[in-house]
Structure 1
């Protein structure tokens, strides 16, 4: 069994497996957002039956924007897997962990999850309750900054405290923008880099996929994976 496995649902949604622990991140969302993809009824059925999404230990949402979160689908998942811990920065369920402080931490079955409040990209979203996380299992660290403002000083301060990570799972502007690439090299310094929050081909009206492919061709050699297709799976080791 590989140490870390990531399987895409849609957009910035994924199932992350670290050792034997399963974490969903922004996995279920249905409302269409221009230029991005959502979890269709057919994809939702496939997700619910897919072994990579089975029996989650932790269901985490970075924030509750409609391209990241569906209350209805999450409720259905929690009814199917009632022992999963739901972690959100807004009160949406009677039984959940509410993220409200600048830093919070959760330990679960050998997993350490550190949550940090980060500014959402875009000044218009300055008041959005938004959190990234650092997952650690058996010494393997996975950084998921969510929709954090690219090259955020808040994230830089956090990384200066915790040090480099093994895997970073980031939105695509972190590689298409020069300031994002610099930040990755100077502060995140991941051994493995995974890129998502990209639309499926049929929804790519703004050419985001093409821009990412063009950027990847110009980057130095390294372990970089781009998530493009529903239920795409990538595995990572030390």
Structure 2
């Protein structure tokens, strides 16, 4: 259906959002190792640059935070040499690596609109780069005590009158979301396995997000699951399943989901 939005898994928390004649890639350019999650395959990067297949439209690149399983600046800069984009949404800098500086220079040299988001936790920053599209960053911190100094932008993508929330690795702290989402009706929320499994995360999903549909993403690649996230999700689905909120697990076995407007 033309009024629906298609979501395709690229790798890890990397997804391609297609709707309204636009393609938006969220956390979908990273090739570094050292973590149990999948890297974007070279074949997919080549398809993005040609363009080919689901990557026929690739207009905006969005990133939640500066971790290597979400964002590789040099890979983004290399893509710009092969194919122009309409804009890039950058996360708050966790540090000032050379790769990010090279990317910013490449964006400026090519005249590509780019926005550094990264509002304070609980705050928001919105950009409407063209009619029918608004991206709002909701400031949070990365989950896990060891990452509390890392900002994570929850990205609220408003496209074709629908609202999709991509949480990345945001912590399950209600104060981050209460004000930012109090007047927002979410068609779908995307959360990682730990957020979904945690009782505090469930309280946020049920009490603040209240999405029509929920998608669990950021799943480990096949054969590399040292944290047993697949088992964790299976048990959590048994515990928290709700008949009024469809839950999709976006992984290698089911890499596509379609989100359609609510039927009144």
TM-score (norm 2): 0.81
Q: Is the 8 A contact 2:118 2:153 kept in 1?
A: no
Match of 1:4 in 2: 5
- The counterpart of 1:120, out of the listed 136, 142, 145, is 142
Match of 1:41 in 2: 42
Q: Which sections of structure 1, spanning at least 5 residues, go unmatched?
A: none
> What is the CA distance between 1:231 and its match in structure 2?
8.5
Q: Displaced runs of 4+ in structure 1, greater than 6 A?
A: none
Count of matched residue positions in the alignment of Structure 1 and Structure 2: 237
Query: Following the alignment from structure 1 to structure 2, what is the Cα–Cα distance between the partners of residues 205 and 42?
Result: 26
Deviates more, 1:166-175 or 1:38-47: 38-47
- The counterpart of 1:197, out of the listed 195, 213, 218, is 218
SS of 2:186's partner is coil
Q: Which sections of structure 2, spanning at least 5 residues, go unmatched?
A: 94-99, 108-113
> What is the CA distance between 1:82 and its match in structure 2?
1.4
Query: Following the alignment from structure 1 to structure 2, what is the Cα–Cα distance between the partners of residues 234 and 59?
Result: 20
Whether 2:263 is the aligned partner of 1:236: answer no
Q: Is the 8 A contact 1:120 1:148 kept in 2?
A: yes
Q: Is the 8 A contact 2:138 2:176 kept in 1?
A: no
> What is the CA distance between 1:84 and its match in structure 2?
2.8
Tell me the alpha carbon deviations over residues 74-115 of structure 1, each in whole angstroms, 9 at most, x when there is no partner: 122222331331111235422232225443222124111111
SS of 2:158's partner is strand
Whether 2:153 is the aligned partner of 1:131: answer yes
Correspondence 1:1-238 to 2 at 5 A: 1-45=2-46, 48=49, 50-89=52-91, 90=93, 92-94=103-105, 95=107, 96-102=114-120, 103-107=124-128, 108-160=130-182, 162-218=183-239, 219-221=241-243, 222-229=245-252, 232-238=255-261
Of the two, which has the highest radius of gyration? Answer: 2
Query: Following the alignment from structure 2 to structure 1, what is the Cα–Cα distance between the partners of residues 184 and 14?
Result: 25
Query: Following the alignment from structure 2 to structure 1, what is the Cα–Cα distance between the partners of residues 168 and 23?
Result: 18
Query: Following the alignment from structure 2 to structure 1, what is the Cα–Cα distance between the partners of residues 174 and 52?
Result: 35
Q: Is the 8 A contact 1:10 1:230 kept in 2?
A: no
Tell me the alpha carbon deviations over residues 11-64 of structure 1, each in whole angstroms, 9 at most, x when there is no partner: 111111232222111001111233322223344345555532333221011111
Tell me the alpha carbon deviations over residues 111-156 of structure 1, each in whole angstroms, 9 at most, x when there is no partner: 1111122111123322223211211123211111221102341122
Query: Following the alignment from structure 1 to structure 2, what is the Cα–Cα distance between the partners of residues 10 and 100?
Result: 23
